[in-house]
């Protein structure tokens, strides 16, 4: 390659890699696989080596991707969190071994451990207690996510035993198990919200949430894999992990000492197949020299340790034929295209369908009828089409165009600016939306009406007995008992469930209405702040967004919902049937205005109450919780280990800093 072409290619690769870095670390929405990214990076590294005059100081080869967030305090790492060099073949692993043996002439062992696909975390312990949790960030500094990490039950807050170092750091991976991920997506689907792509992105996004209660509800898990500190007495990495297990840390049982390269290869080959039986996502194996003395001798490059390498598994994929594209209409009217495929075996399961997500994906793939497509199991769970083999495209094959009208009711589809999905706006007349709203209304986390499920709703709708949620309360025993596969006992069970639903609390009734973007958490926030449906119905967008955690999209959706007279009529009928549309008096009795008009920022850890309890007490007494310090902040409620940047900001603005005891006196 001549100099001019090399310079152009370096510029092109730099731009591509910067974009992919941003998608991966900032948006948590990668658009290419890790393997494709690494191949682009390797190409750039080689070009910069051959043409060093074009290698810039800000090249992607000179930096570690960042997941820093302005919403969290940034903390420097005592020991940099570097990335690992990658290997994709046994030959590259053998090269890694040869490089070490040129430096180390004595015998040594390797430790092989599974590379979990989650979000890296650094945990700091002092005197046996967790004092700080920091994300990887840019490798030099990361975000302080201690409050969120404290909700992860597999991470000990206080260590077991007494032979741990006085101060040390342990690193690991925060991840979301497949079952939790699938359950969460099911809940989101019921709530009419956008589904999550994969467990890795979900774990990373959850770790950066502002509400620790939501983090706790998402049941994150963690595996720890590396200990750092001064004067650590154990030389063996494997042995130190076993000791960490005694202290209460979750260490993977699938970690082996390997005496030689053959044993390393046996481990790689075994887990290349067996990984699909694990409850969490893995994308490779990390191979480390066991002895920490040898690790110190080998040292580091600018980006990675010389004593470790990550062997990356190839994603399971296959080529198959696209038979057709069908379209599904969800409860909220979102239209999702689905690729129907010739059955193909991937990662131990037969795949017949793959989501195409939205119109942009179809356009980007340049999908045509009867195309041969490459299918991959993203995150080992959701089948997705990653590309098209254009060389196999039949002549005169027509391009797949996204539909213009709803496949169920024929209404012209709409697309809101800034959103990827097309929607059917006929939300009160489109059959899948009508049935979907009823299924959501009766679901366990909404009204929890016993005996009413998807099949029964379908039966009631097809027989003309119900055409919306209000019709459910008009059902009679005679109507129900006369249906196929339904007797008197089943009819009584449904009617008893409908009667019991009249005592379901307001926040769940609000969630059950199926307002777009109003999930469980948002419904609770609205109920807690506004207390009744009357206080919600006529609020403006500005009034709604003034409530903490209510953003523009949620506010716009609420205003849009209540702009329709038919929705006011639904609420009127449900009220007449006895449903709860206000917070009960016993919940209101403890509310006061002692903190009305006061804005609080909470920082640090506390002795008598958790941060969430303190936040509830502030709101219960009329105050408001805010995330960052500004001139509008009334008080900073400070505990132990208050963030230094917050302390500096409070002093700079002259904001009063109060203790937990000071705060409790305000409530006396």
Q: Which of 42, 115, 293, 384 is catalytic?
A: 115
Burial environment of residue 598 by CB neighbours within 10 A (0 to 12, 13 to 18, 19 or more): middle
CB under 8 Å to 122, separation ≥6 — which residues? 77, 81, 133, 134, 135, 136, 142, 169, 170, 171
Q: Report the side by side order of strands in the sheet with 308-312.
A: 86-87, 308-312, 282-289, 110-116, 255-258
For 272, the 3-state DSSP assignment is helix
Cα(427)–Cα(424) distance, integer angstroms: 7
N- to C-terminal Cα separation, the chain = 78
Burial environment of residue 425 by CB neighbours within 10 A (0 to 12, 13 to 18, 19 or more): middle
CB 500 within 8 A of CB 450: yes
Tell me the chain's radius of gyration from C-alpha atoms. Answer: 28
Cα(125)–Cα(123) distance, integer angstroms: 7
Pairing status of strand 110-116 against strand 86-87: unpaired
Burial code (b: 16+ CB inside 10 Å, e: under 16) for 540-572 equals ebeebbebbbbeeebbbbbbebbeeeebeebbe
Pairing status of strand 317-329 against strand 334-346: antiparallel
Cα(264)–Cα(285) distance, integer angstroms: 10
Q: For residue 336, give the H/E element and its range.
A: strand 334-346
For 130, the 3-state DSSP assignment is strand
The answer to whether 186 is a known catalytic residue is no
For 14, the 3-state DSSP assignment is helix
Cα(666)–Cα(427) distance, integer angstroms: 49
Catalytic residue annotation: 115
């Amino acid at each position: 390659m001549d100099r001019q072409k090399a310079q152009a290619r370096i510029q092109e690769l730099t731009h591509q890699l910067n974009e992919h870095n941003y998608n991966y670390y900032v948006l948590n929405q990668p658009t290419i696989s890790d393997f494709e990214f690494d191949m682009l990076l390797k190409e750039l590294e080689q070009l910069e080596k051959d043409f060093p005059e074009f290698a810039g100081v800000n090249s992607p080869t000179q930096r570690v991707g960042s997941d820093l967030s302005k919403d969290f305090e940034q903390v420097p790492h005592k020991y940099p969190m570097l990335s690992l060099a990658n290997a994709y073949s046994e030959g590259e692993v053998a090269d890694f071994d040869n490089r070490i043996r040129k430096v180390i002439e004595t015998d040594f062992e390797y430790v092989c451990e599974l590379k979990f696909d989650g979000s890296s975390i650094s945990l700091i312990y002092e005197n046996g207690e967790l004092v700080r949790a920091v994300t990887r960030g840019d490798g030099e500094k990361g975000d302080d996510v201690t409050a969120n990490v404290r909700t992860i039950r597999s991470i000990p807050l206080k260590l077991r035993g007494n032979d741990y170092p006085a101060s040390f750091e342990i690193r690991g991976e925060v991840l979301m198990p497949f079952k939790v991920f699938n359950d969460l997506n099911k809940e989101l689907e019921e709530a009419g919200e956008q589904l999550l792509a994969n467990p890795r992105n979900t774990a990373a996004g959850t770790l950066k949430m502002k509400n620790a209660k939501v983090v706790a509800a998402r049941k994150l898990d963690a595996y720890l894999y590396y200990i750092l500190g001064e004067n650590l007495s154990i030389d063996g990495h494997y042995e130190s992990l076993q000791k960490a297990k005694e202290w209460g840390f979750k260490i993977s049982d699938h970690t082996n000492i390997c005496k030689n390269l053959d044993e390393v290869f046996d481990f790689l080959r075994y887990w290349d197949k067996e990984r699909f039986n694990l409850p969490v996502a893995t994308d490779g194996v990390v191979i480390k020299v066991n002895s920490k003395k040898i690790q110190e001798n080998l040292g580091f490059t600018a980006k990675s340790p010389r004593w470790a390498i990550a062997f990356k598994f190839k994603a399971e994929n296959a080529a198959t034929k696209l038979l057709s594209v069908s379209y599904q209409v969800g409860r909220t009217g979102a239209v999702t295209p689905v690729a129907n495929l010739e059955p193909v075996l991937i990662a131990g399961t037969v795949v017949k369908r793959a989501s195409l997500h939205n119109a942009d994906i179809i356009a980007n793939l340049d999908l045509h009828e009867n195309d041969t497509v490459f299918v991959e199991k993203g995150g080992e769970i959701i089948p997705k089409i990653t590309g098209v083999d254009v060389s196999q495209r039949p002549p005169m094959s027509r391009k797949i165009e996204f539909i213009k009208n709803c496949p169920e009711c024929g209404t012209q589809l709409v697309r809101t600016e800034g959103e990827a999905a097309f929607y059917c706006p006929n939300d009160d007349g489109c059959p899948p939306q009508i049935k979907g709203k009823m299924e959501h209304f009766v679901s366990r986390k909404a009204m929890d009406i016993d005996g009413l499920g998807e099949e029964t709703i379908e039966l009631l709708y097809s027989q003309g007995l119900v055409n919306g949620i209000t019709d459910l309360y008009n059902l009679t025993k005679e109507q129900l008992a006369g249906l196929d596969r339904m007797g008197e006992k089943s009819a009584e069970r449904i009617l008893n469930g409908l009667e019991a639903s009249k005592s379901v609390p307001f926040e769940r009734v609000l969630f059950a209405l199926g307002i777009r973007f109003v999930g469980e958490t948002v419904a609770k926030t609205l109920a807690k702040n506004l207390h009744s449906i009357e206080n919600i119905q006529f609020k403006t967008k500005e009034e709604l967004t003034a409530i903490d955690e209510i953003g523009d999209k949620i506010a716009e959706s609420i205003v849009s919902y209540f702009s329709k007279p038919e929705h006011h009529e639904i609420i009127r009928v449900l009220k007449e049937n006895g449903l709860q549309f206000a917070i009960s008096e016993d919940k209101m009795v403890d509310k006061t205005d002692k903190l009305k008009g006061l804005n609080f920022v909470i920082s640090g850890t506390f002795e008598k109450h958790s941060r969430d309890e303190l936040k509830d007490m502030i709101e219960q007494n009329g105050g408001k919780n805010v995330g960052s310090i500004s001139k509008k902040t009334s008080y900073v409620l400070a505990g132990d280990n208050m963030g230094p940047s917050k302390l500096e900001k409070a002093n700079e603005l002259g904001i009063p800093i109060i203790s937990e005891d000071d705060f409790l006196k305000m409530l006396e």
